[in-house]
Amino acid sequence: MRVLVVSSMFPNRQLPNLGIWVKEQTDLLSKHNPVSVVSPTPYVPNTRLFRKSRWFIHLQSYTEIPEREKICNTTVFHPRFFALRISDRSRLNIFGVASLIQVLLYLFSIVIFLIRNRDHIRKTEIIHAYGIIPDGFCAVILSKFVKKPVVLTILGGELYNNIQKLFLRGIMSYTLGKSSHIICVSEMLKDTALGVRGRINDRISVIPNGVNTTLFRPLPLKKIRRKLGLPLDKKIILSVGNLSPLKGHKYLIEATRLVLKKRQDITIVIVGSGVKEGKLKQLAVRLGLAETIIFVGQKKHEEVPAWMNTCNLFVLPSIKESFGVVIIEAMACGKPVVASRVGGVPEIISRDDLGILVEPANPESLSKAILSALERKWLAELIRDYSRQYSWINISKRIQEVYSTVINSTTHLHSENET
């Protein structure tokens, strides 16, 4: 069956690591189905009104993204949409009004794409959207014109961020109600979705994110450390993620000072970049941890497994987390995990022999868990074996089953209507 993916989270030249798991999932699905992707990109008109704004300068780099490109076996379309600069603190966005306007502009770009690519859309059998807003909403609107069923995967962030905004909550409820099937990456996310829109139990399922177990696998620790210039005589604690407030790196840095009071043979390696990078580095210096904490910046996805294999312990100190893909990536490398007890994380670290759960935003609790984990003897092969259930091969089979169920249901419904 021919699948059209709608996702603003698909990687592009400007953001190669954006939504990398969407691409990995699409790559696997494309082996069984012809798949194309619509991933609108933002732009601001090059006029005197906008030219001197920081927003215009920021978005200029997006002009380098082609309107159509081939990534592996997948054709990716990048229609342009006019991008507003929206702040949650703006009065206009108290009820989600400004965000609603942005969604409508996003929808307009997809409608233009539909008009220009009618023949391509006509061959599509199923639409798969990633995220309720804007992609899911746009997909169900699109489906009204092309008469194709929609499978919606809920990412989590857009659900939590918009659930209190009146207009956007209404859009989310509508989108959930009109989707043919809804995939949630965790049971917790499923419960949240049911709170927004009830009576969808018969078409909602939990299918977690996956991991490329060929890419993420155990490698010789000392060899990798030498290659990356990391100390051989230290216990390395690794954290990978965007340096944003919700990822909680602040608490890892504060916990490090407490860990050092008990043992000094540790090095913290933080992989990632983001809006809080400068402040986090300043915090490390202020706490006297500049020699203990190493910020290595953002790395390409294919480089992350090497960094995973340098560590003795992986830490995810998030305040919020829908699922936590980096956890299963670390486990695929045979690494134990210390992570916050938030979102879908407890569904992954479901046993004591896989890792330790801690309360979020609690440096003292985190430091105790790190110390405990460093003292324990973990079975790397057991952790690796556990992670195999999350392999993309297994996950893509379950998604393929959803596609088949939706197509069969749609065909059956059409047959009943004709009779």
Kindly list the strands in the beta sheet with 337-340, ordered across the sheet, starting from the edge strand earlier in the chain: 293-297, 266-271, 235-240, 313-316, 337-340, 355-358
Query: For residue 169, what are its two tokens?
Result: 């909550």
**Domain residue limits at 188:** 3-210+392-418
Residue 339, CA distances (Å) to 58, 174, 296, 314, 317 in order: 34, 34, 21, 8, 6
**Is residue 25, in this structure, part of any structural domain at all?**
yes
With a cut of 50, say whether residue 369 has pLDDT above it.
Answer: yes
pLDDT in tens, 265-290: 999 999 999 999 999 999 999 999 99
Whether residues 228 and 376 fall in one domain: yes
User: In the predicted model, what is the mean pLDDT of the chain?
Assistant: 90
With cut-offs at 50, 70 and 90, classify the pLDDT of residue 419: very low
Whether residues 67 and 204 fall in one domain: yes
- How many domains does one find in the chain? 2
Choice among 190-194, 364-368, 410-414 with the minimum mean pLDDT: 410-414
Sign of torsion over alpha carbons 62, 65, 68, 71: negative
Nearest-angstrom CA–CA distance, 25 and 397: 10
> What mean pLDDT is predicted for residues 111-128?
89
Whether residues 14 and 45 fall in one domain: yes
Any idea what the CATH number is for the domain that residue 320 is in?
3.40.50.2000
Whether residues 184 and 227 fall in one domain: no
pLDDT in tens, 292-311: 999 999 999 999 999 999 99
Nearest to 25 by CA among 330, 394, 392, 390: 392
Whether residues 364 and 377 fall in one domain: yes
What does the pLDDT read at residue 62?
77
With a cut of 70, say whether residue 49 has pLDDT above it.
Answer: no
Whether residues 202 and 232 fall in one domain: no
Whether residues 174 and 269 fall in one domain: no
**Is residue 215, in this structure, part of any structural domain at all?**
no
Whether residues 174 and 292 fall in one domain: no
**Is residue 216, in this structure, part of any structural domain at all?**
no
For residue 134, say if its preceding peptide bond is cis, omega within 30 degrees of 0. Answer: yes
Whether residues 227 and 112 fall in one domain: no
Whether this prediction's pTM lies above 0.95 is answered by no
Supply the DSSP string of 141-208, one letter for each residue: HHHHHHT--EEEEE-SHHHHHHTT-HHHHHHHHHHHHH-SEEEESSHHHHHHHHHHS-S-GGGEEE--
What does the pLDDT read at residue 238?
98
Whether residues 383 and 414 fall in one domain: no
What does the pLDDT read at residue 281?
98
Nearest-angstrom CA–CA distance, 307 and 48: 45
Whether residues 404 and 294 fall in one domain: no
Whether residues 142 and 156 fall in one domain: yes
